[in-house]
Structures are given as C-alpha cells and as structure tokens.
Amino acid sequence: MGDLIRYGALPDGVTLRFKIGAFTPSTIPMEKLAEYMRDLAVILGSPENVHFLRLEAGSTEIVHVVDRGAFLVNVMSRVGGVRYGAAPVEAIAAYRSINKRLAEDRATGALINGELSAEILNFPGMWAVEAEPFPPVTQAGAIDGVVIRLGGTGANVPVHVQAGDTVYSKCLASREIARELGHHLFGGPLRLTGQGKWTRDADGVWNLDRFLIGGFEPLDSKPLSRVVSELRSLRSGWEDVADPWDEIMKLRNDDEGEDAH
C-alpha cells in the first residue's frame, strides 16, 4: 500500500482532490477534517470504491482515488446530480453540510479531477447566496387519518392525526368539533377538512405548520371486494366486470381525459 500512496493512485483509479480554502494539514482540527471527509464520502457514494490517499499542503487538500469503473458508472453521475440538485437526498444534504461548514470557516472549496485538472463540483462556502425564504402558504385542504390524541385547555384544542406512518401533531379544532372527534378517538379513518398553513424548508420540503379543522366525515373503510359485491347486487352494470380495479382506473382515466378538454 505504501507504494500506491507514494505514486498517488491505486491501480486503474481516478485521483480526485477536495480543496478546502482554509487551514493547512498541520492546523486543521482532526474532528473538522473527519467531518469534511465524511460528507465528501456521502457525496461520492460507492464507499467500497473510494480510497483516501493523503493530505497535501497549501490549503488543505484531501487527495483520494476512486476505482475507475465506479467513477465512470456511478460517481460522476452522482456528482452531476448534486450539481443540478437531482442527486439522492443524503448526497444533497452532505453537499449543503460542507458548504455550511466552509462558510463558518470563511472558506470555499472545490472537488477536482486530478487527471484532467478540472473542477467537477464547486463549493461556494462563504460566498454562497442564501435563497430568499419562501413565504408560508395558507389554503383549504384535507387530511385523511385516524385521530389518536385530543387534549388542551385553550379555545382551540390540539388534535393528533395518524395517516399511515405520518403523525400530524399540529392540528387544532374548536371545543365543539373536538367534542365530536372524541367519539372517533382511535376509531375508523376520518377526512378532516379545514385551513392549513404550510412552510417550505431549505431542502424544498413542505411541512404542515398548522391545520385548523373546520369539519370532518368518516371514510368508508370497506374493502374493494365488498364494495364491488354490493354494486353487483344492485344490478348496477358491474355484474360482468372481471377486474374491478382495472375498470375503476379506466373510469378515472376517462374522467381526466374529459377534464383536459
């Protein structure tokens, strides 16, 4: 391994350099260096194919090598995805983490292809322009789920609603509506209608800030097979339908086609 490090590359590998425009190898705190390296590894992906070689002086340069096959097939597309905001969530988060750390260190950074001496990913760091915060959006909407908690002493009562693996904990209802919801606690699914306030975070994800419940109605939780059986018993034209789900999807597509016109 010593010879490989001396020559700066592994067999059939592409050497990359991550330049940190601050510190030197002798002044950068080891914990901070480890944080940079961890995020860089997440950006590149393919952990079994990325190998650390050395630190170089000037400013701090993390020199590493990527197995050529992994570089061409996976790493370059992942780095390109980060550049254009289309990479996996964890890679985008790691890129933002490095930029934030660089800004705190009053520095910039760059990932460079050592073979071509070409920059393949820029880290503006302290020169990054912060995006204007997107204003909250308030609009009418609905939440489908099961009421799992009610309580509070104010005029608006906190309500927790579970929809699959998601729990909406910022719902509110008047005391009158909360009293009615109490009959459905841990019961069947409900459709809660009202006004929701949504905010968007730095990653572009919309989060529910508040939902004021104005009304609700129980949702029919019958299985599709039972619904179709009831329709057939009514001589509604569903008697000879072989695949009810396929028929429902056809009807839905027909409706959307008409709406388009």
| pLDDT the model gives residue 133 | 67
CA distance 30 to 211: 46
Write down the pTM of the prediction: 0.52
pLDDT (0 to 100) of residue 164: 87
**95-101 contacts: CB < 8 A, separation 24 or more?**
95/39, 95/43, 95/121, 95/123, 96/202, 96/203, 97/35, 97/39, 98/36, 98/39, 98/40, 98/43, 98/123, 99/123, 99/124, 99/125, 99/128, 101/32, 101/35, 101/36, 101/39
In this predicted structure, what is the pLDDT of residue 91?
92
The DSSP output letter for 81 is H
Pairing of strands 166-174, 206-218: parallel
Structure tokens at 137: 């959006």
Q: Are 231 and 239 in contact (CB under 8 A)?
A: no
Q: Nearest 5°: phi and psi at 31? A: -65, -40
| Residue-level pLDDT at 7 | 38
Closest alpha carbon to 217 in 191, 189, 187: 191
Q: Is 244 helix (H, G, I), strand (E, B) or coil?
A: helix
pLDDT of res. 59: 80
**Domains (range + CATH), the chain:** 2-127 (3.30.70), 137-218 (2.40.50.140), 230-255 (no CATH)
**Given this model, what pLDDT does residue 124 score?**
93
Helix 30-44, helix 89-104: angle, nearest 10: 150
Which portions of the chain are predicted below pLDDT 70?
1-11, 129-133, 202-205, 221-261
Distance CA 177, CA 39 (A): 48
Model pLDDT, residue 199 = 86
Pairing relationship of beta strands 13-20 and 60-67 according to DSSP bridges: antiparallel
pLDDT tens-place string over residues 201-243: 765 667 889 999 999 999 876 665 665 566 556 555 555 555 6
Cα 249 from Cα 242, distance rounded (Å): 13
Q: How many helices (H) and strands (E) does the chain have?
A: 8, 10
